[in-house]
Amino acid sequence: MWGWVESVGRRAISALDYLRSLYDLLYLSLKTFATDRRSGVRVIYRVSVDQCYFTGVQAFWFIAFFGFAVGLSLAVLIQGPLLVQFLVKGVVREIAPLLTSFVVLGRSGTAIAVEIGNMKVGHELDLLESMAIDPIRRVVVPRLIGVTFAAACLTVTFDVAACVASFPVAGLSPIEFYRELTRAMTYRDLGISIGKGFLFGITTALIACHHGMTMIPLTTEVPKAATRVVMNSLMFVQSMNIACILMYAT
Amino acid sequence: MSDAPDSMLSLEAVAFDVGNTRLHDLSLAIEPGQAVAVLGSRRSGKLDLLQICLGLRPPAGGTVRILGQDLWALNEAERTALRSRVPLIHEQPLFLSNVRLYDNLALPLRYHSHLSENEIRTRVDRAAARVGLERYDAIALPMMCSRELLRRAAYTRALSMSPSLLVVEELGTALDDGARDWTLRVLLEYRREGGAVLYSAPAPLPDEALSDRLVLMDRGEVLAIGEPAELRRSGVLEDWRGRSREEV
Protein backbone atom coordinates (compact mmCIF):
# COMPACT_ATOMS: atom_id res chain seq x y z
CA MET A 1 0.00 0.00 0.00
CA TRP A 2 2.67 2.52 1.10
CA GLY A 3 4.94 1.50 -1.75
CA TRP A 4 2.22 2.48 -4.19
CA VAL A 5 1.67 5.83 -2.44
CA GLU A 6 5.41 6.46 -2.44
CA SER A 7 5.68 5.69 -6.13
CA VAL A 8 2.78 8.04 -6.97
CA GLY A 9 4.31 10.74 -4.78
CA ARG A 10 7.69 10.38 -6.43
CA ARG A 11 6.15 10.64 -9.89
CA ALA A 12 4.14 13.69 -8.86
CA ILE A 13 7.28 15.40 -7.51
CA SER A 14 9.26 14.64 -10.67
CA ALA A 15 6.36 15.94 -12.80
CA LEU A 16 6.34 19.16 -10.78
CA ASP A 17 10.11 19.42 -11.14
CA TYR A 18 9.76 19.03 -14.88
CA LEU A 19 7.09 21.73 -15.02
CA ARG A 20 9.27 24.05 -12.98
CA SER A 21 12.26 23.54 -15.25
CA LEU A 22 10.10 24.31 -18.31
CA TYR A 23 8.83 27.41 -16.57
CA ASP A 24 12.42 28.41 -15.69
CA LEU A 25 13.50 28.10 -19.32
CA LEU A 26 10.51 30.11 -20.53
CA TYR A 27 11.11 32.76 -17.87
CA LEU A 28 14.82 33.06 -18.71
CA SER A 29 14.03 33.27 -22.43
CA LEU A 30 11.43 35.98 -21.94
CA LYS A 31 13.69 37.83 -19.52
CA THR A 32 16.70 37.88 -21.84
CA PHE A 33 14.45 38.82 -24.77
CA ALA A 34 12.69 41.63 -22.94
CA THR A 35 15.48 43.10 -20.82
CA ASP A 36 18.45 43.08 -23.19
CA ARG A 37 17.51 44.91 -26.37
CA ARG A 38 21.04 45.47 -27.61
CA SER A 39 23.12 42.29 -27.68
CA GLY A 40 22.80 40.06 -30.66
CA VAL A 41 19.55 41.43 -32.07
CA ARG A 42 20.59 40.74 -35.66
CA VAL A 43 21.89 37.29 -34.68
CA ILE A 44 18.57 36.42 -33.02
CA TYR A 45 16.66 37.80 -36.00
CA ARG A 46 18.69 35.75 -38.45
CA VAL A 47 18.36 32.47 -36.54
CA SER A 48 14.63 33.11 -35.97
CA VAL A 49 14.10 33.62 -39.71
CA ASP A 50 16.04 30.41 -40.47
CA GLN A 51 13.93 28.52 -37.92
CA CYS A 52 10.74 30.01 -39.33
CA TYR A 53 11.80 28.98 -42.82
CA PHE A 54 12.51 25.40 -41.73
CA THR A 55 9.39 24.99 -39.60
CA GLY A 56 6.95 27.06 -41.62
CA VAL A 57 7.95 27.58 -45.24
CA GLN A 58 9.40 24.11 -45.83
CA ALA A 59 6.31 22.49 -44.29
CA PHE A 60 3.81 24.73 -46.09
CA TRP A 61 2.92 22.43 -48.97
CA PHE A 62 2.83 19.40 -46.74
CA ILE A 63 0.43 21.10 -44.30
CA ALA A 64 -1.65 22.39 -47.24
CA PHE A 65 -1.95 18.85 -48.60
CA PHE A 66 -2.61 17.44 -45.13
CA GLY A 67 -5.34 20.00 -44.45
CA PHE A 68 -6.83 19.39 -47.89
CA ALA A 69 -6.90 15.62 -47.35
CA VAL A 70 -8.40 15.89 -43.86
CA GLY A 71 -10.97 18.48 -45.01
CA LEU A 72 -11.98 16.40 -48.02
CA SER A 73 -12.31 13.11 -46.16
CA LEU A 74 -14.32 14.62 -43.30
CA ALA A 75 -16.55 16.52 -45.74
CA VAL A 76 -17.33 13.30 -47.60
CA LEU A 77 -18.24 11.60 -44.30
CA ILE A 78 -20.39 14.49 -43.01
CA GLN A 79 -22.23 15.61 -46.11
CA GLY A 80 -25.34 17.68 -45.52
CA PRO A 81 -26.50 20.85 -43.82
CA LEU A 82 -24.17 20.39 -40.81
CA LEU A 83 -21.03 20.33 -42.92
CA VAL A 84 -20.12 24.00 -42.61
CA GLN A 85 -20.86 24.03 -38.87
CA PHE A 86 -18.65 20.98 -38.42
CA LEU A 87 -15.96 22.57 -40.56
CA VAL A 88 -15.80 25.57 -38.24
CA LYS A 89 -16.35 23.99 -34.82
CA GLY A 90 -14.60 20.69 -35.53
CA VAL A 91 -11.86 21.29 -38.06
CA VAL A 92 -10.90 24.96 -37.66
CA ARG A 93 -11.13 25.06 -33.87
CA GLU A 94 -10.02 21.55 -32.90
CA ILE A 95 -8.47 19.38 -35.57
CA ALA A 96 -6.34 21.96 -37.41
CA PRO A 97 -4.27 23.20 -34.43
CA LEU A 98 -3.84 19.67 -33.08
CA LEU A 99 -2.75 18.00 -36.31
CA THR A 100 -0.54 20.96 -37.22
CA SER A 101 1.19 20.72 -33.86
CA PHE A 102 1.85 17.00 -34.50
CA VAL A 103 3.53 17.86 -37.81
CA VAL A 104 5.54 20.66 -36.18
CA LEU A 105 6.57 18.25 -33.44
CA GLY A 106 7.60 15.55 -35.90
CA ARG A 107 9.56 17.88 -38.14
CA SER A 108 10.89 20.61 -35.88
CA GLY A 109 10.57 19.45 -32.26
CA THR A 110 12.80 16.44 -32.75
CA ALA A 111 15.16 18.37 -35.04
CA ILE A 112 15.64 21.08 -32.42
CA ALA A 113 16.34 18.57 -29.64
CA VAL A 114 18.85 16.73 -31.83
CA GLU A 115 20.50 19.96 -32.99
CA ILE A 116 20.90 21.39 -29.49
CA GLY A 117 21.91 17.96 -28.17
CA ASN A 118 24.66 17.74 -30.78
CA MET A 119 25.74 21.29 -29.95
CA LYS A 120 26.08 20.17 -26.36
CA VAL A 121 28.07 17.08 -27.29
CA GLY A 122 30.38 19.22 -29.46
CA HIS A 123 30.90 21.79 -26.64
CA GLU A 124 29.33 24.46 -28.83
CA LEU A 125 27.29 25.83 -25.93
CA ASP A 126 30.54 26.18 -23.93
CA LEU A 127 31.99 28.02 -26.94
CA LEU A 128 29.10 30.50 -26.89
CA GLU A 129 29.57 31.11 -23.17
CA SER A 130 33.29 31.67 -23.64
CA MET A 131 32.44 34.36 -26.23
CA ALA A 132 30.11 36.02 -23.67
CA ILE A 133 27.12 34.96 -25.77
CA ASP A 134 24.16 33.77 -23.72
CA PRO A 135 23.22 30.30 -25.08
CA ILE A 136 19.57 30.91 -24.16
CA ARG A 137 19.57 34.11 -26.18
CA ARG A 138 21.43 32.69 -29.18
CA VAL A 139 19.96 29.16 -29.21
CA VAL A 140 16.61 29.00 -27.36
CA VAL A 141 14.96 32.38 -28.00
CA PRO A 142 15.15 32.26 -31.84
CA ARG A 143 13.77 28.73 -31.86
CA LEU A 144 10.85 29.72 -29.64
CA ILE A 145 10.10 32.70 -31.88
CA GLY A 146 10.50 30.80 -35.15
CA VAL A 147 8.50 27.70 -34.21
CA THR A 148 5.70 29.64 -32.49
CA PHE A 149 5.19 32.04 -35.38
CA ALA A 150 5.43 29.25 -37.97
CA ALA A 151 3.01 26.98 -36.05
CA ALA A 152 0.38 29.73 -35.90
CA CYS A 153 0.76 30.39 -39.66
CA LEU A 154 0.64 26.68 -40.49
CA THR A 155 -2.59 26.32 -38.50
CA VAL A 156 -4.18 29.00 -40.69
CA THR A 157 -2.84 27.17 -43.78
CA PHE A 158 -4.48 23.96 -42.54
CA ASP A 159 -7.77 25.83 -41.91
CA VAL A 160 -7.81 27.32 -45.40
CA ALA A 161 -6.87 24.05 -47.12
CA ALA A 162 -9.57 22.12 -45.23
CA CYS A 163 -12.23 24.70 -46.14
CA VAL A 164 -11.17 24.70 -49.81
CA ALA A 165 -11.27 20.88 -49.89
CA SER A 166 -14.77 20.66 -48.45
CA PHE A 167 -16.23 23.14 -50.93
CA PRO A 168 -16.84 20.67 -53.82
CA VAL A 169 -18.57 18.25 -51.42
CA ALA A 170 -20.87 20.90 -49.88
CA GLY A 171 -22.96 21.13 -53.05
CA LEU A 172 -23.20 24.92 -52.86
CA SER A 173 -22.18 27.64 -55.27
CA PRO A 174 -18.92 29.40 -54.37
CA ILE A 175 -20.77 32.50 -53.17
CA GLU A 176 -23.26 30.49 -51.08
CA PHE A 177 -20.45 28.43 -49.58
CA TYR A 178 -18.47 31.56 -48.72
CA ARG A 179 -21.59 33.17 -47.18
CA GLU A 180 -22.36 30.05 -45.11
CA LEU A 181 -18.77 29.81 -43.97
CA THR A 182 -18.48 33.44 -42.91
CA ARG A 183 -21.85 33.20 -41.13
CA ALA A 184 -20.73 30.13 -39.17
CA MET A 185 -17.20 31.32 -38.45
CA THR A 186 -16.72 34.07 -35.91
CA TYR A 187 -13.53 35.96 -35.04
CA ARG A 188 -13.58 33.95 -31.83
CA ASP A 189 -13.31 30.66 -33.77
CA LEU A 190 -10.42 32.01 -35.80
CA GLY A 191 -8.78 33.40 -32.66
CA ILE A 192 -9.09 30.04 -30.90
CA SER A 193 -7.56 28.27 -33.89
CA ILE A 194 -4.59 30.63 -34.19
CA GLY A 195 -4.22 30.91 -30.41
CA LYS A 196 -4.03 27.15 -30.07
CA GLY A 197 -1.50 26.96 -32.90
CA PHE A 198 0.57 29.58 -31.09
CA LEU A 199 0.27 27.80 -27.72
CA PHE A 200 1.05 24.32 -29.06
CA GLY A 201 3.95 25.72 -31.09
CA ILE A 202 5.63 27.42 -28.13
CA THR A 203 5.05 24.34 -25.95
CA THR A 204 6.67 22.03 -28.49
CA ALA A 205 9.62 24.37 -28.99
CA LEU A 206 10.07 24.84 -25.26
CA ILE A 207 10.07 21.11 -24.54
CA ALA A 208 12.47 20.47 -27.43
CA CYS A 209 14.89 23.18 -26.24
CA HIS A 210 14.64 21.97 -22.64
CA HIS A 211 15.57 18.40 -23.52
CA GLY A 212 18.40 19.55 -25.78
CA MET A 213 19.84 21.92 -23.19
CA THR A 214 19.60 19.54 -20.21
CA MET A 215 20.80 16.44 -22.03
CA ILE A 216 23.84 14.53 -20.75
CA PRO A 217 26.47 15.42 -23.38
CA LEU A 218 26.86 11.97 -24.92
CA THR A 219 26.03 11.01 -28.49
CA THR A 220 23.96 8.05 -27.22
CA GLU A 221 21.72 10.49 -25.31
CA VAL A 222 20.72 12.50 -28.42
CA PRO A 223 18.13 10.02 -29.81
CA LYS A 224 16.79 9.48 -26.28
CA ALA A 225 16.26 13.22 -25.91
CA ALA A 226 14.38 13.29 -29.24
CA THR A 227 12.11 10.44 -28.07
CA ARG A 228 11.38 12.22 -24.80
CA VAL A 229 10.50 15.38 -26.72
CA VAL A 230 7.93 13.47 -28.79
CA MET A 231 6.29 11.74 -25.81
CA ASN A 232 6.22 14.77 -23.51
CA SER A 233 5.08 17.20 -26.21
CA LEU A 234 2.22 14.90 -27.21
CA MET A 235 1.14 14.65 -23.60
CA PHE A 236 1.40 18.40 -22.98
CA VAL A 237 -0.36 19.39 -26.20
CA GLN A 238 -3.22 16.96 -25.54
CA SER A 239 -3.59 18.16 -21.94
CA MET A 240 -3.56 21.80 -23.07
CA ASN A 241 -6.11 21.04 -25.75
CA ILE A 242 -8.45 19.52 -23.15
CA ALA A 243 -7.90 22.53 -20.87
CA CYS A 244 -8.68 24.90 -23.76
CA ILE A 245 -11.85 23.01 -24.65
CA LEU A 246 -13.02 23.07 -21.04
CA MET A 247 -12.25 26.77 -20.88
CA TYR A 248 -14.22 27.92 -23.91
CA ALA A 249 -16.93 25.26 -23.81
CA THR A 250 -18.08 26.01 -20.27
CA MET B 1 45.49 57.11 -22.36
CA SER B 2 45.61 58.56 -18.85
CA ASP B 3 42.54 56.61 -17.76
CA ALA B 4 43.96 53.31 -19.04
CA PRO B 5 43.83 50.66 -16.32
CA ASP B 6 47.08 49.54 -14.70
CA SER B 7 46.25 45.91 -15.23
CA MET B 8 44.28 44.07 -17.87
CA LEU B 9 43.20 41.52 -15.32
CA SER B 10 43.62 41.33 -11.60
CA LEU B 11 42.59 38.81 -9.01
CA GLU B 12 42.47 40.14 -5.47
CA ALA B 13 42.30 37.67 -2.58
CA VAL B 14 40.25 35.27 -4.68
CA ALA B 15 38.85 32.18 -2.99
CA PHE B 16 37.38 29.21 -4.80
CA ASP B 17 36.56 25.73 -3.55
CA VAL B 18 34.75 23.50 -6.02
CA GLY B 19 35.67 19.90 -6.80
CA ASN B 20 39.40 19.36 -6.49
CA THR B 21 40.26 23.02 -6.88
CA ARG B 22 40.92 24.99 -3.72
CA LEU B 23 42.15 28.54 -4.12
CA HIS B 24 42.69 30.73 -1.06
CA ASP B 25 43.64 34.35 -1.01
CA LEU B 26 44.94 34.26 -4.58
CA SER B 27 46.19 37.55 -5.97
CA LEU B 28 47.49 38.01 -9.48
CA ALA B 29 47.72 40.95 -11.85
CA ILE B 30 48.39 40.88 -15.58
CA GLU B 31 49.65 44.15 -16.97
CA PRO B 32 49.46 45.35 -20.57
CA GLY B 33 52.00 43.56 -22.73
CA GLN B 34 52.55 40.78 -20.20
CA ALA B 35 52.28 37.06 -20.80
CA VAL B 36 51.38 34.85 -17.84
CA ALA B 37 51.43 31.07 -17.92
CA VAL B 38 49.30 28.89 -15.67
CA LEU B 39 51.18 25.61 -15.48
CA GLY B 40 49.93 22.29 -14.26
CA SER B 41 48.83 18.81 -15.24
CA ARG B 42 45.32 17.99 -16.48
CA ARG B 43 43.70 17.86 -13.03
CA SER B 44 45.69 20.62 -11.43
CA GLY B 45 42.78 23.11 -11.51
CA LYS B 46 44.29 25.44 -14.11
CA LEU B 47 41.10 25.35 -16.19
CA ASP B 48 39.10 26.49 -13.15
CA LEU B 49 41.52 29.37 -12.70
CA LEU B 50 41.19 30.39 -16.36
CA GLN B 51 37.41 30.23 -16.06
CA ILE B 52 37.48 32.49 -13.00
CA CYS B 53 39.65 34.96 -14.92
CA LEU B 54 37.21 34.86 -17.85
CA GLY B 55 34.21 35.44 -15.62
CA LEU B 56 32.75 32.04 -16.50
CA ARG B 57 32.77 30.99 -12.84
CA PRO B 58 32.20 33.29 -9.89
CA PRO B 59 34.75 33.09 -7.08
CA ALA B 60 33.56 32.30 -3.54
CA GLY B 61 35.38 35.39 -2.30
CA GLY B 62 37.66 38.19 -3.45
CA THR B 63 37.53 40.40 -6.52
CA VAL B 64 38.09 39.75 -10.21
CA ARG B 65 38.83 42.91 -12.15
CA ILE B 66 38.96 43.16 -15.92
CA LEU B 67 40.31 46.49 -17.22
CA GLY B 68 39.97 47.83 -13.70
CA GLN B 69 36.28 47.00 -13.33
CA ASP B 70 35.02 44.64 -10.66
CA LEU B 71 33.43 41.96 -12.85
CA TRP B 72 30.96 40.59 -10.30
CA ALA B 73 29.83 44.03 -9.11
CA LEU B 74 28.51 44.85 -12.59
CA ASN B 75 25.04 44.07 -13.86
CA GLU B 76 24.60 41.27 -16.38
CA ALA B 77 24.68 43.44 -19.51
CA GLU B 78 27.80 45.31 -18.36
CA ARG B 79 29.48 42.06 -17.38
CA THR B 80 28.70 40.55 -20.79
CA ALA B 81 30.15 43.61 -22.54
CA LEU B 82 33.31 43.40 -20.45
CA ARG B 83 33.68 39.65 -20.88
CA SER B 84 33.46 40.04 -24.65
CA ARG B 85 36.82 41.88 -24.46
CA VAL B 86 38.48 38.72 -23.14
CA PRO B 87 38.11 35.93 -25.68
CA LEU B 88 39.18 32.36 -24.99
CA ILE B 89 40.98 30.23 -27.53
CA HIS B 90 40.15 26.61 -26.79
CA GLU B 91 42.63 23.77 -26.93
CA GLN B 92 40.62 22.13 -29.73
CA PRO B 93 39.32 24.81 -32.09
CA LEU B 94 35.56 25.05 -31.47
CA PHE B 95 33.02 26.35 -33.98
CA LEU B 96 29.29 26.17 -34.47
CA SER B 97 29.07 23.14 -36.73
CA ASN B 98 26.00 24.18 -38.72
CA VAL B 99 27.15 27.76 -39.32
CA ARG B 100 29.41 28.69 -42.23
CA LEU B 101 33.02 29.57 -41.48
CA TYR B 102 32.74 33.30 -42.12
CA ASP B 103 29.55 33.55 -40.05
CA ASN B 104 31.40 31.78 -37.25
CA LEU B 105 34.21 34.33 -37.47
CA ALA B 106 31.79 37.24 -37.52
CA LEU B 107 29.52 35.90 -34.77
CA PRO B 108 31.03 37.70 -31.74
CA LEU B 109 31.19 41.03 -33.61
CA ARG B 110 27.63 40.66 -34.87
CA TYR B 111 26.48 39.80 -31.36
CA HIS B 112 28.39 42.33 -29.29
CA SER B 113 28.83 45.30 -31.60
CA HIS B 114 26.71 47.58 -33.74
CA LEU B 115 29.19 47.61 -36.60
CA SER B 116 27.86 47.39 -40.13
CA GLU B 117 28.42 44.18 -42.12
CA ASN B 118 31.13 45.96 -44.15
CA GLU B 119 32.98 47.06 -41.03
CA ILE B 120 32.72 43.54 -39.59
CA ARG B 121 34.10 42.11 -42.85
CA THR B 122 37.02 44.56 -42.69
CA ARG B 123 37.85 43.67 -39.09
CA VAL B 124 37.60 39.93 -39.71
CA ASP B 125 39.78 40.21 -42.85
CA ARG B 126 42.36 42.29 -40.97
CA ALA B 127 42.50 39.71 -38.15
CA ALA B 128 42.66 36.88 -40.69
CA ALA B 129 45.62 38.54 -42.41
CA ARG B 130 47.44 38.75 -39.06
CA VAL B 131 47.24 34.99 -38.58
CA GLY B 132 48.04 34.20 -42.22
CA LEU B 133 44.50 33.25 -43.18
CA GLU B 134 44.27 35.43 -46.27
CA ARG B 135 42.46 32.87 -48.38
CA TYR B 136 39.72 30.66 -47.04
CA ASP B 137 36.40 29.32 -48.18
CA ALA B 138 34.02 31.62 -46.34
CA ILE B 139 30.95 29.52 -47.06
CA ALA B 140 32.49 26.19 -46.02
CA LEU B 141 31.15 24.51 -42.92
CA PRO B 142 33.78 24.00 -40.17
CA MET B 143 33.69 20.21 -40.60
CA MET B 144 34.96 20.69 -44.17
CA CYS B 145 38.01 22.67 -43.05
CA SER B 146 41.42 21.38 -42.06
CA ARG B 147 42.53 21.45 -38.44
CA GLU B 148 45.25 23.95 -39.25
CA LEU B 149 42.76 26.29 -40.91
CA LEU B 150 40.39 26.01 -37.93
CA ARG B 151 43.21 26.82 -35.54
CA ARG B 152 44.01 29.98 -37.50
CA ALA B 153 40.30 30.76 -37.71
CA ALA B 154 39.99 30.52 -33.90
CA TYR B 155 42.74 33.15 -33.53
CA THR B 156 41.08 35.26 -36.23
CA ARG B 157 37.77 35.23 -34.36
CA ALA B 158 39.47 36.19 -31.10
CA LEU B 159 41.64 38.96 -32.59
CA SER B 160 38.76 40.46 -34.58
CA MET B 161 37.24 41.49 -31.23
CA SER B 162 40.30 43.73 -30.52
CA PRO B 163 40.74 42.00 -27.18
CA SER B 164 42.49 43.50 -24.20
CA LEU B 165 43.52 40.11 -22.92
CA LEU B 166 43.80 36.90 -24.86
CA VAL B 167 43.25 33.68 -22.94
CA VAL B 168 44.64 30.56 -24.57
CA GLU B 169 43.82 27.10 -23.30
CA GLU B 170 46.68 24.58 -23.43
CA LEU B 171 49.02 26.63 -25.60
CA GLY B 172 51.63 23.87 -25.42
CA THR B 173 49.37 21.51 -27.41
CA ALA B 174 49.02 24.02 -30.24
CA LEU B 175 52.75 24.59 -30.31
CA ASP B 176 53.47 20.85 -30.49
CA ASP B 177 50.90 20.48 -33.21
CA GLY B 178 52.81 22.08 -36.06
CA ALA B 179 51.36 25.53 -35.48
CA ARG B 180 54.40 26.74 -33.59
CA ASP B 181 55.79 29.43 -35.86
CA TRP B 182 52.69 31.39 -36.65
CA THR B 183 51.16 31.01 -33.15
CA LEU B 184 54.27 32.45 -31.51
CA ARG B 185 54.52 35.18 -34.11
CA VAL B 186 50.88 36.19 -33.61
CA LEU B 187 51.10 36.19 -29.81
CA LEU B 188 54.37 38.11 -29.70
CA GLU B 189 53.04 40.68 -32.14
CA TYR B 190 49.89 41.00 -30.08
CA ARG B 191 51.98 41.56 -26.96
CA ARG B 192 54.09 44.20 -28.64
CA GLU B 193 50.89 46.11 -29.38
CA GLY B 194 50.09 46.17 -25.67
CA GLY B 195 47.82 43.15 -25.42
CA ALA B 196 48.17 40.73 -22.52
CA VAL B 197 48.22 36.95 -22.81
CA LEU B 198 47.13 34.42 -20.23
CA TYR B 199 47.56 30.79 -21.14
CA SER B 200 47.66 27.37 -19.62
CA ALA B 201 50.23 24.72 -20.41
CA PRO B 202 51.44 21.46 -18.86
CA ALA B 203 55.04 22.75 -18.56
CA PRO B 204 56.98 25.98 -19.12
CA LEU B 205 57.35 26.82 -22.79
CA PRO B 206 60.88 26.87 -24.13
CA ASP B 207 60.18 30.40 -25.40
CA GLU B 208 60.86 32.66 -22.44
CA ALA B 209 59.35 35.55 -24.43
CA LEU B 210 55.91 34.24 -23.58
CA SER B 211 56.56 33.62 -19.89
CA ASP B 212 56.84 36.85 -17.93
CA ARG B 213 55.33 35.15 -14.94
CA LEU B 214 54.42 31.59 -14.07
CA VAL B 215 51.57 30.36 -11.90
CA LEU B 216 52.46 26.85 -10.76
CA MET B 217 49.48 24.67 -9.90
CA ASP B 218 49.27 21.18 -8.54
CA ARG B 219 46.32 19.12 -7.25
CA GLY B 220 43.94 22.06 -7.29
CA GLU B 221 46.21 24.50 -5.47
CA VAL B 222 48.48 27.34 -6.51
CA LEU B 223 51.99 26.44 -5.33
CA ALA B 224 53.83 29.53 -6.44
CA ILE B 225 53.66 32.63 -8.58
CA GLY B 226 56.73 34.37 -9.89
CA GLU B 227 59.13 35.07 -12.69
CA PRO B 228 60.67 31.98 -14.33
CA ALA B 229 64.25 32.87 -13.42
CA GLU B 230 63.32 33.52 -9.80
CA LEU B 231 61.34 30.27 -9.51
CA ARG B 232 64.18 28.35 -11.10
CA ARG B 233 66.78 29.90 -8.80
CA SER B 234 64.82 29.12 -5.66
CA GLY B 235 64.26 25.50 -6.75
CA VAL B 236 60.47 25.86 -6.65
CA LEU B 237 60.15 25.08 -10.35
CA GLU B 238 62.12 21.84 -9.99
CA ASP B 239 60.03 20.86 -6.95
CA TRP B 240 56.84 21.51 -8.90
CA ARG B 241 58.12 19.44 -11.84
CA GLY B 242 58.77 16.54 -9.47
CA ARG B 243 55.29 16.73 -7.96
CA SER B 244 53.66 17.00 -11.40
CA ARG B 245 55.60 13.96 -12.63
CA GLU B 246 54.46 11.97 -9.57
CA GLU B 247 50.85 12.83 -10.31
CA VAL B 248 51.15 11.69 -13.93
User: Model ipTM?
Assistant: 0.89
Least Cα separation, residue A147 to chain B (angstroms): 18
Mean pLDDT of chain B: 88
Q: How confident is the model at residue B1 (pLDDT cuts 50, 70, 90)?
A: very low
Q: For residues B154-158, give the mean pLDDT.
A: 95
Instruction: Name which of A125, A162, A199, A154 is nearest B97 in CA terms.
Output: A125
* Confidence check: pLDDT of B178 > 70: no
pTM: 0.88
> Does B61 reach chain A within 8 Å, measured CB to CB?
no
> Average pLDDT of A106-127?
96
B244 pLDDT above the threshold of 80: no
Summarize pLDDT for A163-182 with one digit per residue, the tens.
999 999 888 889 999 999 99
Report how far apart, in Å, the C-alpha atoms of A163 and of each of A74, A245, B96 are. 11, 22, 43
Tens-digit pLDDT profile for residues A220-250: 999 999 999 999 999 999 999 999 999 987 7
For residue B220, give every residue at least 6 positions away whose Cβ sits within 8 Å of its Cβ, in sequence order, or none.
B19, B20, B21, B22, B43, B44, B45, B48
pLDDT at A56: 95
pLDDT at residue A94 tops 80:
yes
Per-residue model confidence (pLDDT) at position B69 = 92
Contact residues, chain B, for A39 at CB < 8 Å: 77, 80, 111-112
State whether residue B94 sits within 8 Å of chain A by CB. Answer: yes
- The Cα–Cα gap between B40 and B22 comes to 14
CB-CB under 8 Å, B94 with A132 = no
pLDDT digits (tens, 9 = 90+) for B231-242: 889 988 888 888
Contact B110 A43 (CB under 8 A): yes
- Chain B residues close to A219, C-beta within 8 Å: none
Chain A contact for B78 (CB, 8 A cutoff)? no
pLDDT top residue among A38 and A94: A94
* Chain A environment of B160 (Cβ under 8 Å): none
Q: Is the predicted pLDDT of residue B4 greater than 60, yes or no?
A: no
User: Which residues are bridge partners to B69 per DSSP?
Assistant: B66
Beta-sheet strand order (sheet of B213-218): B88-89, B165-168, B196-201, B35-39, B213-218, B221-226
Mean pLDDT across B153-181: 85
Contact A115/B at CB under 8 A: yes
User: Does any CB of chain A come closer than 8 Å to the CB of residue B112?
Assistant: yes
- Average pLDDT for A115-126: 95
Establish if A24 touches chain B: CB-CB under 8 angstroms.
no
pLDDT of residue A78: 86
- DSSP line for A7-73: HHHHHHHHHHHHHHHHHHHHHHHHHHHHH--STTHHHHHHHHHHHHIIIIITTHHHHHHHHHHHHHH
What is the widest separation between alpha-carbon atoms in chain A? 67
Q: Kindly report, residue by residue over B66-116, the tens digit of the pLDDT.
A: 998 999 999 888 898 899 999 999 988 999 999 999 999 999 999 999 999
**Closest by Cα among B180, B228, B194, B219 to B36:** B228
List all residues 6 or more positions away from A53 whose beta carbon is below 8 Å from its beta carbon.
none
Q: Are B195 and B166 in contact (CB under 8 A)?
A: yes
Any B CB within 8 A of A28 CB:
no
Report CB contact under 8 Å: B94, A124. Answer: yes
Confidence of residue B2 (pLDDT cuts 50, 70, 90): very low
The counts of H helices and E strands in chain A are 12, 0
Residue pairs spanning A and B at CB distance below 8 A: 58
What integer pLDDT is reported at residue B22 of this predicted model?
A: 87
The amino acid occupying position A79 is: Q
Distance from CA of A211 to the nearest CA of B (A): 19
Q: Residue B247's pLDDT is what? A: 60
pLDDT at B157 over 90: yes
Encode pLDDT of A187-204 as tens digits. Answer: 999 999 999 999 999 999
For B95-108, what is each residue's pLDDT tens digit?
999 999 999 999 99
Can you tell me the mean pLDDT for B127-153? 90
- A111 min Cα distance to partner chain B (Å): 13
User: With an 8 Å Cβ cutoff, is A37 touching chain B?
Assistant: no
Tell me the percentage of chain A whose pLDDT exceeds 70.
100
